[in-house]
């Protein structure tokens, strides 16, 4: 694991630029929608295995317009297919970035939590002999009070 001791920071200016870049992406894709779980469930899905089928269907529709009803919009079909290809390509890139951000967050969060546990243990030990640390030890200990009654299985899930 190459995440040991990640030492990095992001400037406020960089944060603003990153947020602006994300906003630009949203502005460049103003047609994006949000579906409910029920709507997602009802839709016919086009996955990787269906890509060749859809591509061949586009070719068939373009080459054989005369067999399709006049209400079938071949241009709309082609446009939907092309947009699906583009969005799939963008989604792959976004998923890779999302995975990297998620993994980095997990790693630095682990580092921070491990350091916090070390500090807590030192504060607990020092509170026995050093005046004024008992309240701090109790405050830090609040993190663990809610989970003491739970089983180890419930904590790990």
Q: Identify the pLDDT of residue 95.
A: 97
Contact (Cβ atoms closer than 8 angstroms) between residue 108 and residue 88: no
Q: Per-residue confidence at 144, pLDDT binned at 50, 70, 90?
A: confident
Q: What predicted TM-score, i.e. pTM, was given to this entire model?
A: 0.75
Q: What's the pLDDT tens digit per position in 26-59?
A: 999 999 999 999 999 999 999 888 999 999 999 9
Distance (Å, rounded) from C-alpha 137 to C-alpha 29?
50
Mean pLDDT of 108-116: 94
pLDDT surpasses 90 at 148: no
């Amino acid at each position: 694991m190459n995440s040991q001791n990640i030492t990095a920071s992001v400037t406020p200016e960089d944060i603003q630029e990153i947020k602006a870049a994300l906003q630009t992406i949203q502005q460049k894709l103003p047609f994006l929608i949000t579906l409910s779980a029920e709507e997602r469930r009802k839709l016919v899905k086009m996955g990787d295995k269906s890509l060749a089928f859809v591509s061949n269907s586009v070719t068939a529709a373009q080459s054989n317009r005369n067999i399709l009803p006049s209400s079938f919009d071949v241009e709309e079909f082609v446009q939907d297919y092309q947009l699906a290809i583009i969005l799939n390509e963008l989604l792959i890139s976004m998923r890779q970035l999302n995975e990297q951000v998620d993994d980095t967050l997990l790693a630095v969060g682990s580092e921070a939590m491990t350091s916090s546990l070390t500090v807590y243990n030192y504060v607990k030990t020092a509170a026995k002999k050093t005046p004024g640390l008992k309240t701090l030890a109790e405050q830090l200990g609040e993190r663990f009070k809610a989970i003491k009654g739970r089983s180890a299985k419930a904590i790990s899930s």
